[in-house]
Amino acid sequence: MPYRFMRFPEGKTKAVTFSYDDGVRSDVRLAEICDKYGLKATFNICSTLIASGEGESRLSENDMKKLISHGHEIAVHGDEHKSPARCTDMEIIKEFLTCREILEDKLGEVITGMAYPDLPISTASEERYREIRVILKSLGISYSRTLGNDNNGFALPDDWLAWMPTIHHDNENSIEYARQFVDLKVDDLYVSRHNPRLFYVWGHSYEFDNNNNWEHFEELCKILSGKDDTWYATNIEICRYSKAFDSLVFNTANTCVYNPTAFDIWFACKGKTHCVKAGETLNY
């Protein structure tokens, strides 16, 4: 039985995404650089830290609306930037439900993306993490980015509620990894390794102000941008698309697939790339 592998929209083998935290003014600059290079970013916002007016150090409602209008994502980062690893069940519910409610109310969008504030989720015990996971799922959170140990790899997450990025932008190997990623030709690898790849960068945009190294971000963008085999997407776009792929229903002979989702979905099988349209059945 030949393997099947997910392909991103238009049959692309790779994706690039960015995740920046805390909703500060320099996010606008970061988004402008992303726009220049055709890249998409996710901005993780604390609901108590939204500016009430324009020009403040934090992003305002209008700033966030503008980011969304440019194709970027606004995601949950807690009401008061508290780590679930240090909260009771009730505090977790309050922290993340409140943030979701306020962001959705201000932006008129469904917001189910998240980045863990303050601490990586690995600071919770395995048992406590399993409990936290159930709570976040019940709050409708689709994915949550963690941090701590850059995975230095290009894999999609096994667990969307512990989504480890490829690198923090200050990773000493960031440029080298970006080049390796761009050079990687997925379909030239051994057949069992034809799985799609992701390059995921996280950080805080104010770090570029503090370190006076915006050119480092621009260099990363330059290396990663404009590739025909790469999808430039927000975190939630990648998560929703991947989950839609997981919803495909294949026949036992691996010759026919039904797509019950609202997405057109691409996959590779026997050296060919196929697209099964939303709601359709495809023989391949």
Q: Which two tokens stand for residue 240?
A: 């929703």
- How far separated are the first and last CA of the chain, in Å rounded? 14
DSSP state of 192: G
One of 22, 63, 150, 237 touching Zn ion (CB under 5 A) = 22
What CA–CA distance (Å, rounded) separates 198 from 267? 16
The answer to whether residue 113 forms part of the interface with Zn ion (CB under 5 A) is: no
The answer to whether residue 79 forms part of the interface with Zn ion (CB under 5 A) is: no
Which residue sits closest to Zn ion, CB atoms considered?
21
Angle at 256 between CA 252 and CA 259, to 5 degrees: 110
Stretch that binds Zn ion, among 14-22, 63-71, 187-195, 251-259 (CB under 5 A): 14-22
SS3 content of the chain, % helix, strand, coil (to 5): 40, 20, 40
Stretch that binds Zn ion, among 15-23, 160-168, 231-239, 244-252 (CB under 5 A): 15-23
Shortest reach from residue 77's CB to Zn ion, in Å = 6
Q: Which is nearer to Zn ion, 50 or 223 (CB)?
A: 50
Q: Which is nearer to Zn ion, 42 or 242 (CB)?
A: 42
Long-range contacts at 246-249 (CB < 8 A, ≥ 24 apart): 248/276
What CA–CA distance (Å, rounded) separates 182 from 230? 9
Stretch that binds Zn ion, among 59-67, 111-119, 241-249, 260-268 (CB under 5 A): 111-119
Task: Taking the CA atoms of 174, 230, 215 and 235 in sequence, report the sign of the dihedral they define.
Answer: negative
Shortest reach from residue 86's CB to Zn ion, in Å = 14
Among candidate residues 229, 224, 231, 263, the one with its CA nearest the CA of residue 246? 263
Q: Which is nearer to Zn ion, 114 or 276 (CB)?
A: 114
Q: Count of alpha carbons within 13 Å of 143, Cβ hemisphere only?
A: 27
Shortest reach from residue 97's CB to Zn ion, in Å = 18
Stretch that binds Zn ion, among 17-25, 194-202, 218-226, 247-255 (CB under 5 A): 17-25
Q: Which is nearer to Zn ion, 22 or 95 (CB)?
A: 22
Instruction: Please say whether the beta carbons of 68 and 261 come within 8 A.
Output: no
Shortest reach from residue 21's CB to Zn ion, in Å = 4
Among candidate residues 280, 236, 13, 273, the one with its CA nearest the CA of residue 110? 236
SS3 state at 247: coil
Shortest reach from residue 25's CB to Zn ion, in Å = 15
Shortest reach from residue 155's CB to Zn ion, in Å = 24
Q: Which is nearer to Zn ion, 124 or 269 (CB)?
A: 124
One of 7, 21, 24, 198 touching Zn ion (CB under 5 A) = 21
Stretch that binds Zn ion, among 20-28, 92-100, 121-129, 226-234 (CB under 5 A): 20-28
Shortest reach from residue 11's CB to Zn ion, in Å = 36
Dihedral Cα 134, 137, 138, 140, nearest 10 deg: 170
Q: Which is nearer to Zn ion, 117 or 196 (CB)?
A: 117
The answer to whether residue 117 forms part of the interface with Zn ion (CB under 5 A) is: yes
Q: Which residues bind Zn ion (CB under 5 A)?
A: 21-22, 117
